[in-house]
Each structure stands twice: as structure tokens, then as C-alpha cells.
């Protein structure tokens, strides 16, 4: 395949990957993306005498990644300009370059495992990684999401890439291995579907009537913190509009950026709201202790007492804290707008009216361990309180909702999404949205959700499954590198010649 055709396939594959994510949610586009990417990276002749070189692979990988991430991540620069957004897209592309440097020599199975290995690195390093762009999030509307309770996002990513690569292999030159891989993945997906159905057929241990409150903000932008009092008042007012009996109320992250433990007026407003709704409220606020400022979700009970709290553990770098602030200040003054928050270290569970509530605050929902820790600590329902006001009318809030939906399926729990400005939603354990709000409106949602105490395979062993897939991917890549080096070192066979040489035969004839 000519290089221009390969680059065209790579560009389209990046576009298709983007379309698999919400708000588009075209899950088939995610599979098609890797069909084209495999075709762009692999040789089209058999025997494979003309592989794509390392330079060509890097060029194809960069084209794919930049087309995908340029479309997925504009929300990063909504109010801070193009530079941080472009920088993040470029940094994310570096991981795909690592993948593409070896991928041209890998068959469909090794191709998918190596992708999962690189995605693991991408999601963990540096600064905790950037798990926002994992392939699995684009499969929430498709059948591969049935793998969530089996192996979590890692297994879904492996299946997505594996199916795409296998379809390309069938068309190109490896029909037998492609069909075998497809059959294997189909069997795994069928098993995952049956397992998911068995989870849903179990009876819940109870139910809870939940209200998710979306108070909205007076205006969009990075001056959100300057609107603290108004945002608190909005959430109090919206809570007072609840005219149904509820058991618990969930407010968003930063619903009260006025610290109620340092501001008596803010504390009084929250206490009155809890008293009026006659239910405990999980409130997002800013607290401070000996370690420093915390992004905190804290329970305020209807009797005026304060319950348990969750200090956010997985903080957003370059937002909630600034790594190497002095260094990055040379490139942008925006670094001084980043916070100095300190991460927490709790279980991720608070108790409200005797119910164990798991909390993944905003960015935390992208991290596997946040939800798994909560389940291990006995969470019967999950919440994702979030503040998306600083990202305007972008795709960000819809991408995040897809993550909450996948966590519902992975962990077999209902999820309450409460956002300052939307989208807020109530999600059942099947990952289905029961109700959701419009963006940048004030609203509240009320529904009765199941409480569950099941433990999925992913909740207990998802980390080990991801580690296994990653190790196999690294070993496959390492084996490929070793084979390549051996092939280059192997001496070329010399052409056969007369034992005495051509000159000897001439001399004998004289």
C-alpha cells in the first residue's frame, strides 16, 4: 500500500475513534478505527517481504493519534486557549508512537495486547497518567461493554482492538489467524454477556430514593471560584425545590467552594437545606487540614451534624495541582491558576442514612482503582459528583458520563452523577441512563435505585487481568524486537560457486 494511502487510512481511523466516544457514541466506529489502523501499519503482501519501516510506522501512528486527540480534547482549552490543548494532544500522541514503532510486525492478537500494554502506561504515567482517552469508553453503547464486569476497561480495549485488527487480517493475508481470533473474542463476549445477565438477575439488597441536584453557575469560565456564594445559593435553592420524600441527596463537586467549616453563613445554608429536605446531603466543598487544601465531599445530616467525608485521591495534574510549577511557568502564565490541592487516602466510601455510598469525584471516575476500592469497602451505590462548568458546552461532560455508565456495568452498582452545570444523570447497574438533565440549567433528578452487594470479577481481579494482558503485550513486543535483531544479524547465504573459482576453470581450459 502506498504511504499516502496508509496515511489516509490512519487519518480516517483517528476520526472513527473519536466518533466512538460520546456524545456521538458510535461503538462500531471504534472497531472500524482499528481495522483501518492495522491495515495502515501492516504489509499487504504474503509472504511479507515489504514491511513498513519504523519511520513509516511512526508517521502512520502520529497521523492516527493527532486526528483522534485533536477532536477528543478541545475541552481542555475551552477557556485557557489552544496551547494547553495542543500540548496535551501531542503528549498523548507520544504513546501511540511507542505503539506504532513495533505494531507493523505484530499479528492481530499481539497487536491488540501490545495496544493494551501501551494504554496501561498511558493511563498510569506520568502524574497518574491520562486514562481519559482509553478505547473502552467508546464501547459503552455496544455489546463489548458486557466485558466490563469481567475484566473492566482493559479487557474491552483488548477486544475492540483485537476485532478490528482481525477483520483487517482476514481481508489482507492472514485469514486463518484472523478468523480464529474473532471466534475467540466472540466466545469471550458471549461468556461476558451471560455473566452480566446473571448479575442483573440477582435481587438487590434494598433500594434508596436519591436526589441529584444541579444548581448551575451564574456564568461559564475560569472565574468559577469567584462565583462561590452564588453557586452555593443555587444548590440550596434547587434542593429546596425537591417536593418528594428522598433518602439521600447528592450535590456536585465544588457546590460549596465556600468552606462551611470556616464560614458560618455557608454552614447555616447547608444545614437548613438538609433540614428542609429531611435527608443527608453529600456536599462538594473545599476544606483545609494540616496537610493543606482538600477537594472534599462531606456528609451533612438533617439533624445538623456532620458525617463522613471523602478527600479526592486522584487529582487532576495542571488543574488541581501543578507539577514542576516553576518550570512550566516559563511556557505559560496559566500555571499559576492551577491549585495546590493535596490528595486524600481514604476508602472512597461515606455512609448516608446507613447506606454505604462510593464516591469518585469528577476526574477519579477515569481511574479503575477508585471504584474498586469503594466496592472493597462495601459500597452499595456509587456517585460521581463533578464540576464541569469550566469546560463550557464541550464534549467533556458527555465523555465523563460514559465513564460513569461503564463503571455501573463493571461494578454492578447504580451510579448517581451530580454536576454543577450538567450533565447530571441517574444510571442503573446495567449502565442505562434513567434520567438526565440538560447542560447549563438548574434542575434536580429523583428516582429509586437498587442497592447491591455483589462482587464482580473485575471488582476483585480487574487489576490482575489488566496486568496479565499488559505483560503478554510487552512479551509479544519484546519477542518481535528479538526476532528482528536476529534476522539482521543472520549472514546472507553466498551464491554457490565452482570449488576452484571461475578463474580456475578458465585456466584448466588453456
Catalytic residues: 253, 312, 362
Q: How many Å apart are CA 450 and CA 422, to the nearest integer?
A: 23
DSSP 8-state assignment for residue 491: P
- HEC string of 234-288 equals HHHHHHHCCCCCCCEEECCCCCECCCCCCCHHHHHHHHHHHHHHCCCEEEEEEEE
Kindly give, in sequence order, each residue whose CB lies less than 8 Å from that of residue 114, ignoring residues fewer than 6 positions away.
Answer: 99, 102, 103, 106, 473, 474, 476, 477
Residue 415, helix vs strand vs coil:
strand
Cell for 214? Answer: 444541579
Return the ∠ at Cα 32 (arms to 29 and 33), rounded to 5°.
85
Q: How many Å apart are CA 259 and CA 103, to the nearest integer?
A: 51
Say how many C-beta atoms besides its own lie within 10 A of residue 87's C-beta. 16
Strands of the sheet containing 292-300, edge to edge, are: 306-311, 292-300, 281-289, 248-250, 206-214, 443-451
- Residue that the C-alpha cell 439521600 belongs to: 248
411 burial (CB, 10 Å; 0-12 / 13-18 / 19+) is buried
For the chain, how many helices (H) and strands (E)? 14, 12
First to last CA, the chain: 54
Q: How many Å apart are CA 249 and CA 473, to the nearest integer?
A: 44
Task: For residue 47, say if its preceding peptide bond is cis, omega within 30 degrees of 0.
Answer: yes
Buried b (16+ CB within 10 A) or exposed e, 270-296: bbebbeebebbbbbbbbbeeeeebbbb
Q: Identify whether the C-beta of residue 426 lies closer than 8 Å to the C-beta of residue 448.
A: no
Cell for 411? Answer: 461494578
Residue 296, helix vs strand vs coil:
strand
Residue 86, helix vs strand vs coil:
helix
Q: How many Å apart are CA 60 and CA 5, to the nearest integer?
A: 10
Q: Identify whether the C-beta of residue 214 lies closer than 8 Å to the C-beta of residue 435.
A: no
Amino acid at each position: 500500500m502506498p504511504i499516502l494511502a496508509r496515511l489516509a487510512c490512519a487519518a480516517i481511523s483517528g476520526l472513527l475513534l473519536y466518533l466512538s466516544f460520546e456524545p456521538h457514541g458510535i461503538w462500531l466506529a471504534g472497531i472500524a478505527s482499528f481495522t483501518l489502523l492495522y491495515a495502515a501499519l501492516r504489509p499487504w503482501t504474503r509472504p511479507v517481504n515489504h514491511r513498513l519501516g519504523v519511520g513509516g510506522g511512526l508517521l502512520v501512528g502520529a497521523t492516527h493519534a493527532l486526528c483522534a486527540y485533536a477532536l477528543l480534547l478541545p475541552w481542555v482549552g475551552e477557556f485557557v486557549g489552544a496551547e494547553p490543548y495542543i500540548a496535551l494532544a501531542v503528549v498523548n500522541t507520544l504513546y501511540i508512537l511507542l505503539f506504532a514503532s513495533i505494531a507493523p510486525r505484530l499479528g492481530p492478537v499481539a497487536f491488540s495486547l501490545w495496544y493494551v500494554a501501551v494504554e496501561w502506561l498511558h493511563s498510569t504515567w506520568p502524574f497518574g497518567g491520562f486514562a481519559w482517552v482509553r478505547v473502552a469508553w467508546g464501547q459503552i453503547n455496544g455489546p463489548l461493554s458486557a466485558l466490563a464486569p469481567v475484566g473492566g476497561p482493559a479487557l474491552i480495549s483488548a477486544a475492540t482492538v483485537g476485532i478490528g485488527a482481525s477483520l483487517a487480517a482476514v481481508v489482507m493475508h492472514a485469514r486463518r489467524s484472523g478468523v480464529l481470533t474473532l471466534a475467540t473474542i466472540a466466545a469471550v463476549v458471549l461468556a461476558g454477556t451471560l455473566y452480566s445477565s446473571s448479575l442483573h438477575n440477582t435481587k438487590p439488597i434494598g433500594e434508596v430514593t436519591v436526589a441529584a441536584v444541579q444548581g448551575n453557575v451564574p456564568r461559564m469560565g475560569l472565574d468559577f471560584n469567584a462565583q462561590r456564594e452564588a453557586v452555593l445559593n443555587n444548590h440550596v435553592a434547587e434542593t429546596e425545590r425537591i417536593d418528594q420524600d428522598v433518602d439521600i441527596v447528592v450535590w456536585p463537586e465544588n457546590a460549596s467552594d465556600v468552606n462551611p467549616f470556616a464560614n458560618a453563613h455557608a454552614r447555616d445554608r447547608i444545614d437548613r437545606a438538609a433540614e428542609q429536605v429531611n435527608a443527608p446531603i453529600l456536599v462538594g466543598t473545599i476544606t483545609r487540614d494540616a496537610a493543606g487544601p482538600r477537594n472534599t465531599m462531606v456528609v451533612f445530616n438533617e439533624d445538623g451534624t456532620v458525617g463522613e467525608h471523602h478527600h479526592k485521591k486522584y487529582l487532576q495534574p495542571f488543574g488541581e495541582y501543578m507539577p514542576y510549577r516553576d518550570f512550566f511557568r516559563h511556557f505559560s502564565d496559566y500555571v499559576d491558576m492551577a491549585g495546590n490541592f493535596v490528595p486524600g487516602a481514604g476508602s472512597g466510601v461515606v455512609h448516608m442514612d446507613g447506606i454505604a455510598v462510593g464516591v469518585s469525584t469528577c476526574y477519579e471516575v477515569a481511574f479503575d482503582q477508585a471504584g474498586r476500592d469503594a466496592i472493597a469497602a462495601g459500597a452499595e451505590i456509587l456517585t460521581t459528583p463533578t464540576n464541569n462548568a469550566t469546560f463550557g458546552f464541550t464534549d467533556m461532560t458527555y465523555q465523563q458520563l460514559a465513564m460513569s455508565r461503564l463503571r455501573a456495568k463493571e461494578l454492578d452498582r447504580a451510579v448517581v452523577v451530580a454536576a454543577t452545570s450538567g450533565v447530571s444523570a441517574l444510571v442503573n447497574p446495567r449502565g442505562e441512563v434513567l434520567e438526565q438533565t440538560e447542560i447549563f440549567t438548574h434542575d434536580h433528578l429523583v428516582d429509586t435505585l437498587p442497592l447491591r452487594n455483589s462482587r464482580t470479577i473485575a471488582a476483585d481481579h480487574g487489576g490482575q487481568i489488566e496486568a496479565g494482558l499488559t505483560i503478554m503485550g510487552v512479551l509479544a513486543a519484546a519477542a518481535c524486537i528479538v526476532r528482528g535483531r536476529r534476522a539482521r544479524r543472520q549472514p546472507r547465504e553466498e551464491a554457490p560457486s565452482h570449488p576452484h573459482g571461475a578463474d580456475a576453470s578458465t585456466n584448466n581450459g588453456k
